[in-house]
Amino acid sequence: MADGDEAAAPGGAERLAAVCGHLEEIRADLRSGPGGDEDPVEQVLAAVQDGGDLAGTLAVLHAVLQADGDPQGLDGYTDHAGGIRGLQPAGISTTRAEPIYVCPAGRCARYWWPQPVVPVPKCAISSTPLRRERL
């Protein structure tokens, strides 16, 4: 799959952001699950770094988490898990004319709003700081 194509897969960019933002938690959940193996998450990381089949490895990781007893799989780790996307109360603007930090490679949907005295987080996959953008 070519760079950027993983976002076209159902939930691909959101699921990759979930892996990046919750890497250690996902590893721990896999280790404590019935399979006890964190290899599926390592395959996702390898696919990102080597340009391999990212959509396929994300699908496998999602299925393994579900088989281990988490019905939401990777979707349970996303920032909008359990929420209703696209629903906004009337008169409330969600537009923020300020900086936001995003995936340094532009491959996933992870984002982070700047917070006082908190360093910019790093991508758990590449170890590079998130990239600053303006909305």
Least confident of 22-31, 60-69, 79-88, 117-126: 79-88
- Read off the tokens for 53: 């089949």
What domain range includes position 71? Answer: 5-77
d(CA 88, CA 118): 28
Is 87 a residue whose pLDDT tops 50? Answer: no
9 pLDDT tier (thresholds 50, 70, 90): low
Own/partner pairs, 57-62, CB within 8 angstroms, 24+ separation: 58/6, 58/9, 58/12, 58/15, 58/16, 58/19, 59/9, 61/15, 61/19, 61/26, 62/15
pTM over 0.75? The answer is no
40 pLDDT tier (thresholds 50, 70, 90): very high
Domain count, the chain: 1
- What integer is the mean pLDDT of 67-73? 81
Q: Environment class of residue 78 by beta-carbon count within 10 Å: exposed (0-12), middle (13-18) or buried (19+)?
A: buried
Residue 70 lies in a domain: yes
